[in-house]
Amino acid sequence: MRTESEIRMQGMQALIGSLGLIEAERFLIAVNQDKFNYTEWRRTGLPDMSIEQIAAAANQFSSQLSRS
């Protein structure tokens, strides 16, 4: 099991890799602004994908990162 610090680091690397540094920062600011509702965001803000599809996409992205 990874530590919280390791998870945060990998999450930041994923955001920066996907969005670029500036857009990743903008995303974090948007998420941390007042009254963020994760449940609603999950329902409307993410692609309409099953958990299996999300896991497959995450695994594929992770494989690409490890090859870099």
Distances (CA, A) of 62 to 3, 9, 14, 43, 56: 17, 13, 8, 24, 10
Q: How confident is the model at residue 58 (pLDDT cuts 50, 70, 90)?
A: confident
Q: pLDDT at position 34, please?
A: 67
* Of 46, 58, 67, the residue nearest 10 (C-alpha): 58
Quote the domain boundaries for residue 32: 4-67
| pLDDT at 6 exceeding the cut of 90 | yes
Rounded distance between C-alpha atoms, residue 19 and residue 30, angstroms: 14
Which residue did the predictor score with more confidence, 23 or 64?
23
* Of 64, 50, 48, the residue nearest 14 (C-alpha): 64
| pLDDT at 7 exceeding the cut of 80 | yes
Domain tally for the chain? 1
Rounded distance between C-alpha atoms, residue 47 and residue 50, angstroms: 9
Once rounded to an integer, what is the mean pLDDT over residues 7-11? 92
